[in-house]
């Protein structure tokens, strides 16, 4: 029986089958019954966690201009996305507030837990086991097992089945393990599980599929090459001792899996099947559910599980203990300090590295980052171990501290490293503090002291900066990373080897006033309603409110839109409107910088905030335990009211904003989005416009004038939901009005998003990518059609989902809070023939289509072979990039090609703004 009945929210059961396969069975009756479980309520906003993206330290977001990819293109991404490093904040770059909400809604519906079931299988073999003559074979096998099975031979049958039934799947190859996983609607889980199990019982892996799938692996490699995170990993691995598997090329590509094997008469197909027969055995597997499949155990006779535990201290070499200067893809300065430690997996229960990384990554008073920010040397800091195979395996564990540097900080990187060493020495002398550990065994204290001691052994320093270009004459083999290597400066190496003085400004965190202690559910003070109601309305603003009566948790959400149109700000010294938009971005990022330290304690207490520089004004959102949430909100409003900045902060933020804009432009996917929206959105200024404006220079006087104008005349609209009374909710808006003392807007300014009316034709805008070393291209096809209601019948699994849906109504000023119920009702009246008829209408000659192509660099695109194989060479950060428009290919006939976006769109009419209010 796959799922067993139980009396609690979650009931796990561990079993081991006769063939050696281990399985963990987990059942959640609450979710099976369609009601939200306590677990999902407590983790209410997991889907809304702030993903890293760019390299700033602020909690601000620039609306519409950047996207939140789970790709690694953030500063030192491995420290952020793979580690426990929620100790650092930075400038995020997701979509606009409205697009973000829509995408979250779609993601939630796809991953809705009430009706979903899931399974995962871990095979205890990974890239460490790659044969020397076939680099990337383990990764290639991960791809090939999905190419059909004896029972279900269709190569794409499993993916098609999952998509048809609201599911998804994924797989990943690590150093010592390969993981496969999928989810699907519960009623189709049994069939999906059988289809999935066949990949491990009898995969076809036919010869004809090899060449096709090699191209897929090679495509992943090409997509990975422009990532600074991946490039740093490969460079780091190359520093290991000869013979250690970290020196292997884990990704694999067309050269290692196709062309070189052919030249050396290696039969990749035969070797692939041998690898599968040897390692894809039941007793090497761990499953989260029981399968009825008969995974054979016979093929393991004579073979033993791969073990690399004897390869200790792989980085105890002279090559590791050096300073490496590296040329990054993006415009960024960063310093990474990395130590190689003994393997830490056996300490997974006490997690000593978590304790150290939490203290090192703290951002409050007395922290490393606080000190560095005051010196204007750093914007962000991340520290820890991500527990991936690269950072933790059977041969070593790493501990890394990565600091995002300012221009000034780059000049003082040795001093920055010294501050880090001073903090670690303070921890060593003081020893672990029980105030910061809920439960710590004496054994954990011993382990931590040993680790801190190890951290004073020689470290590896990596300094990333575009300034290094021209000075780095070495090149990593597989990703082509340009770097140089040198001894650590003797003054600093001698100092760190001595009993150097501690820094009196560095100390352990102080008491946190934001930690909630009152978790009582409030009694309602007004009639409860199913949807938000307006409880306060004045000329200065209005407030919508709903008391939570569904999830019954001591949490709350509050969102406020400060309506002010940046593009309408006029000043005699401002020649172009883009300047006002850039001023707004600068203002919000300085505000976030000012909040970074005082608001960090709130973040530690699981209170979150977000600032968005939107097209229609400033958006402030807070969420978390309701007891202390008003304190966080008041802190933000206080800093907004008393906004100030020094010339040094102004210089630091504007310099960082230049890098942020530039790093958006060099990514094909974000450049494609920017071009598309520039064509579609009326009155939009492109990222190039904004970058050019910033490069020409802003003045402190202009920013001061802008902020004064912003704070003087506003309309504030808010939504408060959760465990708050109506009286407490009114206090949010009243506090804003009281502190800011603004006057109402002189004229009503409805929130509108204006889109141009595309002609009834196929439009093409084809441009060259801006990163000459990036071979990747991006194609986007946009169909302009009438509205199609989407299926949204899943129940909300947590409070944040309901709040997001209601917030969307407030921020767009539509207020149709029962829109979801109405859409479901409308959907039930539709038939399949209605949908087919609607689709056919928009496929006829009058269809409106816009294709945007961003073309990468390579010999197949007409670029010289030297350019095609050269490493990423971006334009200088001081240069203004310009779009290069390309002609359509001969395959695209009967289309209209856009060669001048502003000239073309100026002739188009603007569609009236349409709100669906009933």
Ramachandran quadrant class, 855 (left: phi over 0; alpha: psi -120 to 50; beta: rest) = beta
CA distances from 1 to 5, 25, 296, 423 (A): 10, 10, 21, 54
Largest Cα span, the chain: 83
Q: Report the relative pairing of strands 713-722 and 541-547 from DSSP bridges.
A: parallel
Highest mean pLDDT among 31-35, 91-95, 347-351, 885-889: 885-889
Please say whether the beta carbons of 769 and 872 come within 8 A. no
Beta strands in 711-777 (DSSP E): 713-722, 743-744, 762-768
Least confident of 316-325, 338-347, 906-915: 906-915
Ramachandran quadrant class, 335 (left: phi over 0; alpha: psi -120 to 50; beta: rest) = beta
Q: Report the relative pairing of strands 116-123 and 11-16 from DSSP bridges.
A: unpaired
Q: How many residues does the chain have?
A: 918
Delineate the domains of the chain, giving CATH numbers in brackets.
322-497 (3.30.830.10), 533-744 (3.30.830.10)
pLDDT (average), residues 531-553: 95
Please say whether the beta carbons of 328 and 466 come within 8 A. yes
Helix axes 268-279, 207-224, angle to 10 degrees: 80
Least confident of 95-99, 357-361, 900-904: 95-99
Query: What pLDDT was estimated at residue 886?
Result: 94
Phi, psi of 26 (to 5 degrees): -125, 130
pLDDT at 292 over 50: no
Edge-to-edge order in the sheet of strand 285-287: 11-16, 22-27, 285-287, 116-123, 178-185, 168-173
Q: Please, what is the average pLDDT of the chain? A: 83
Please say whether the beta carbons of 144 and 195 come within 8 A. no
pLDDT category, 275, cuts 50, 70, 90?
Answer: very high
More confident of the two residues 186 and 856: 856
pLDDT at 36 over 80: no
The first and second tokens of residue 725, run together, are 């009374």
CA distances from 49 to 89, 407, 595, 603, 621 (A): 12, 29, 19, 12, 13
Q: Report the relative pairing of strands 397-405 and 333-341 from DSSP bridges.
A: antiparallel
The residue written with tokens 């003087």 in the block is 712
> Percent of the chain at pLDDT above 70?
80
CA distances from 15 to 20, 23, 288, 623, 677 (A): 10, 5, 10, 40, 53
Query: What pLDDT was estimated at residue 838?
Result: 79
Residues 6+ apart with CB under 8 A from 782: 676, 680, 849, 850, 851, 852
pLDDT (average), residues 474-490: 96
More confident of the two residues 98 and 506: 506
Beta bridge partners of 583: none
The first and second tokens of residue 13, run together, are 């059961």
Alpha-carbon distance of 171 to 374, in angstroms, equals 44
Ramachandran quadrant class, 166 (left: phi over 0; alpha: psi -120 to 50; beta: rest) = left
pLDDT category, 28, cuts 50, 70, 90?
Answer: low
Phi, psi of 30 (to 5 degrees): -60, -45
Query: What pLDDT was estimated at residue 235?
Result: 96
pLDDT at 217 over 60: yes
Please say whether the beta carbons of 538 and 734 come within 8 A. no
pLDDT category, 436, cuts 50, 70, 90?
Answer: low
pLDDT at 662 over 90: yes
Residues 6+ apart with CB under 8 A from 886: 766, 767, 768, 853, 855
Mapped onto helix, strand or coil, the DSSP state of residue 733 is: helix
Beta strands in 133-282 (DSSP E): 168-173, 178-185
Query: What pLDDT was estimated at residue 754?
Result: 83
Question: What does the DSSP 8-state code read for residue 913?
Answer: P
Query: What pLDDT was estimated at residue 180?
Result: 97
- Give per-residue pLDDT as tens, 804-863: 999 999 988 889 999 888 888 888 888 888 888 877 877 776 688 999 999 998 877 777
Residues 6+ apart with CB under 8 A from 636: 595, 599, 609, 611, 620, 622
Query: What pLDDT was estimated at residue 307?
Result: 86
The first and second tokens of residue 696, run together, are 């020409």
Query: What pLDDT was estimated at residue 817?
Result: 93
Least confident of 175-184, 525-534, 665-674, 891-900: 891-900
pLDDT (average), residues 108-119: 60
The residue written with tokens 């007409």 in the block is 862
pLDDT at 869 over 90: no
Please say whether the beta carbons of 127 and 175 come within 8 A. yes
pLDDT category, 870, cuts 50, 70, 90?
Answer: very low
Query: What pLDDT was estimated at residue 58?
Result: 41
Query: What pLDDT was estimated at residue 67?
Result: 32
Residues 6+ apart with CB under 8 A from 387: 82, 83, 84
Edge-to-edge order in the sheet of strand 762-768: 778-783, 849-855, 762-768, 896-897
- Nearest-5° angle of CA 576, CA 582, CA 583? 95
Alpha-carbon distance of 685 to 546, in angstroms, equals 37
Question: What does the DSSP 8-state code read for residue 860?
Answer: G
pLDDT at 53 over 80: no
Residue 816 class from Cβ within 10 Å (0-12 exposed, 13-18 middle, 19+ buried)? middle
Query: What pLDDT was estimated at residue 787?
Result: 66
Query: What pLDDT was estimated at residue 772?
Result: 87
Phi, psi of 867 (to 5 degrees): -65, -40
- From the CB of residue 508, how many other CB atoms can be counted at a distance below 10 Å? 16
For the chain, the straight-line distance linking the first and the last C-alpha, in angstroms and rounded, comes to: 48
Query: What pLDDT was estimated at residue 836?
Result: 85
pLDDT at 441 over 70: no
Query: What pLDDT was estimated at residue 435?
Result: 58
pLDDT category, 567, cuts 50, 70, 90?
Answer: low
pLDDT category, 871, cuts 50, 70, 90?
Answer: very low
pLDDT at 62 over 60: no
Query: What pLDDT was estimated at residue 443?
Result: 52
Alpha-carbon distance of 579 to 497, in angstroms, equals 51
Edge-to-edge order in the sheet of strand 474-475: 378-384, 397-405, 333-341, 460-465, 323-326, 482-486, 474-475
Residue among 132, 115, 187, 73 nearest 662 (CA): 73
The first and second tokens of residue 279, run together, are 């390692």
- Nearest-5° angle of CA 498, CA 500, CA 506? 145
Query: What pLDDT was estimated at residue 864?
Result: 63
Alpha-carbon distance of 654 to 588, in angstroms, equals 11
Mapped onto helix, strand or coil, the DSSP state of residue 915 is: coil
More confident of the two residues 718 and 748: 718
Alpha-carbon distance of 322 to 736, in angstroms, equals 53
> Percent of the chain at pLDDT above 90?
60
Long-range contacts of 31-37 (CB under 8 A, 24+ apart): 31/113, 31/114, 32/3, 32/114, 32/186, 34/114, 34/115, 34/795, 35/114, 35/795, 36/114, 36/551, 36/795, 36/796, 36/797, 36/798, 37/9, 37/10
Mapped onto helix, strand or coil, the DSSP state of residue 554 is: coil
pLDDT category, 124, cuts 50, 70, 90?
Answer: very high
- Give per-residue pLDDT as tens, 772-814: 888 899 999 998 875 644 445 556 778 888 999 999 999 888 8
Residues identified as active-site: 142
DSSP H helical ranges for 500-612: 577-596, 600-604
pLDDT at 56 over 80: no
pLDDT (average), residues 728-751: 90
Alpha-carbon distance of 67 to 553, in angstroms, equals 32
- Give per-residue pLDDT as tens, 600-630: 999 999 999 999 998 888 999 999 999 999 9
Least confident of 104-118, 404-418, 447-461, 672-686: 104-118
- Give per-residue pLDDT as tens, 373-398: 999 999 999 989 988 989 999 999 99
Phi, psi of 403 (to 5 degrees): -120, 125
CA distances from 776 to 445, 525, 650 (A): 49, 58, 36
Instruction: Please say whether the dihedral angle defined by the alpha carbons of residues 245, 248, 250 and 255, taken in this order, is positive or negative.
Output: negative
Least confident of 102-116, 445-459, 799-813: 102-116
Question: What does the DSSP 8-state code read for residue 255?
Answer: I
pLDDT (average), residues 17-35: 69
């Amino acid at each position: 029986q796959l799922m067993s009945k139980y009396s609690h929210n979650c009931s796990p059961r561990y079993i081991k089958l006769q063939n050696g396969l281990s399985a963990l069975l987990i059942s959640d009756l609450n979710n099976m019954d369609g009601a939200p479980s306590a677990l999902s309520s407590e983790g209410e906003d997991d889907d809304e966690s702030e993903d890293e993206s760019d390299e700033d330290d602020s909690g601000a977001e620039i609306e519409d201009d950047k996207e939140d990819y789970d790709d690694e293109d953030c500063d030192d991404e491995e420290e952020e996305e793979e580690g426990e490093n929620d100790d650092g904040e930075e400038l995020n770059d997701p979509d606009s507030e409205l697009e973000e909400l829509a995408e979250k809604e779609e993601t939630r519906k796809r991953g809705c837990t009430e009706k979903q079931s899931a399974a995962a299988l871990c095979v205890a073999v990974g890239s460490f086991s790659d044969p020397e003559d076939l680099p990337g074979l383990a990764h290639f096998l991960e791809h090939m097992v999905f190419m059909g099975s004896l029972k279900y031979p269709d190569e794409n049958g499993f993916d098609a089945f999952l998509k048809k039934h609201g599911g998804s799947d994924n797989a990943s190859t690590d150093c010592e393990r390969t993981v496969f996983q999928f989810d699907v609607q519960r009623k189709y889980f049994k069939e999906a599980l059988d289809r999935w199990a066949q990949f491990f019982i009898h995969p076809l892996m036919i010869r004809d599929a090899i060449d096709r799938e090699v191209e897929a692996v090679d495509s992943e490699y090409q997509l990975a090459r422009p990532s600074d995170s991946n490039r740093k990993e490969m460079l780091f691995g190359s520093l290991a001792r000869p013979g250690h598997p970290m020196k292997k090329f884990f990704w694999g590509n067309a050269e290692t899996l196709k062309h070189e094997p052919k030249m050396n008469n290696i039969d990749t197909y035969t070797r692939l099947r041998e690898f599968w027969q040897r390692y894809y055995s039941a007793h090497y597997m761990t499953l989260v559910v029981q399968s009825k499949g008969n995974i054979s155990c016979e093929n393991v006779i004579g073979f033993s599980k791969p073990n690399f535990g004897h390869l200790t201290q792989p980085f105890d070499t002279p090559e590791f203990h050096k300073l490496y200067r590296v040329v990054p893809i993006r415009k960024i300065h960063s310093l990474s300090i990395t130590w190689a430690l003994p393997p830490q997996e056996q300490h997974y229960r006490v997690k000593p590295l978590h304790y150290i990384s939490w203290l090192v990554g703290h951002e409050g008073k007395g922290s490393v980052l606080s000190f560095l920010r005051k010196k204007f040397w750093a914007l962000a800091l991340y520290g820890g171990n991500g527990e991936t195979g690269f950072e933790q395996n059977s041969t070593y564990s790493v501990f890394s501290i990565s600091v995002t540097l300012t221009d000034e900080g780059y000049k003082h990187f040795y001093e920055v490293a010294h501050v880090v060493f001073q903090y670690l020495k303070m921890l060593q002398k003081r020893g672990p503090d029980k105030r910061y550990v809920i439960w710590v065994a004496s054994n954990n204290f011993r382990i931590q002291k040993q680790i801190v001691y190890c951290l004073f052994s020689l470290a590896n320093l990596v300094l990333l900066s575009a300034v290094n270009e021209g000075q780095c004459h070495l090149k990593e083999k597989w990703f082509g990373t340009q770097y140089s290597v040198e001894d650590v400066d003797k003054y600093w190496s001698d100092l760190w080897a001595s009993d150097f003085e501690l820094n009196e400004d560095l100390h352990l965190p102080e008491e946190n006033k934001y930690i909630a202690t009152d978790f009582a559910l409030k009694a309602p003070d007004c009639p409860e309603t199913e949807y938000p109601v307006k409880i306060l309305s004045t000329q200065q603003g209005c407030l919508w409110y709903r008391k939570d009566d569904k999830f019954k948790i001591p949490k709350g959400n509050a969102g406020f839109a400060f309506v002010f149109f940046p593009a309408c700000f006029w000043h005699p010294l401002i020649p172009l409107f883009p300047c006002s938009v850039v001023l707004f971005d600068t203002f919000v990022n300085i505000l976030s910088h000012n909040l970074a330290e005082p608001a960090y304690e709130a973040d530690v207490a699981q209170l979150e905030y977000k600032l968005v520089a939107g097209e229609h004004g400033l958006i402030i959102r807070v969420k978390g335990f309701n007891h202390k949430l008003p304190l966080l909100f008041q802190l933000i409003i206080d800093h907004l009211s008393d906004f100030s900045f020094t010339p040094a902060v102004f210089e630091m933020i504007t310099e960082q904003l230049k890098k942020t804009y530039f790093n958006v432009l060099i990514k094909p996917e974000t450049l494609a989005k920017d071009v598309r929206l520039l064509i579609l959105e009326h009155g939009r200024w492109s990222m190039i416009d904004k970058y050019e404006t910033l490069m020409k220079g802003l003045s402190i006087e202009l920013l001061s004038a802008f902020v004064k104008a912003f704070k003087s005349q506003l309309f504030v609209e808010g939504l408060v939901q959760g465990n708050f009374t109506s009286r407490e909710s009114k206090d949010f808006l009243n506090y804003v009005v009281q502190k800011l003392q603004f006057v109402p807007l002189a004229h009503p300014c409805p929130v509108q998003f204006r889109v141009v009316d595309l002609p009834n034709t196929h439009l093409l805008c084809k441009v060259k990518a801006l990163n000459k070393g990036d071979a990747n291209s991006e194609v986007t096809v946009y169909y302009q059609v009438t509205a199609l209601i989407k299926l949204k019948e899943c129940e909300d699994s947590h409070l944040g989902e309901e709040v997001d849906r209601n917030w969307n109504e407030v921020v767009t000023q539509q207020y149709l809070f029962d829109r979801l119920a109405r859409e479901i009702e409308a959907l039930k009246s539709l038939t399949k023939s209605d949908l087919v008829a609607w689709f056919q209408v928009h496929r006829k000659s009058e269809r409106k289509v816009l294709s945007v192509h961003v073309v990468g660099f390579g010999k197949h695109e007409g670029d010289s072979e030297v350019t095609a194989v050269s490493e990423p060479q971006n334009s200088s950060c001081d240069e203004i990039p310009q779009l290069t428009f390309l002609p359509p290919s001969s395959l695209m006939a009967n289309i209209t090609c856009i060669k001048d976006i502003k000239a073309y769109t100026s002739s188009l009419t603007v569609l009236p703004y349409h709100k669906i209010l009933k």
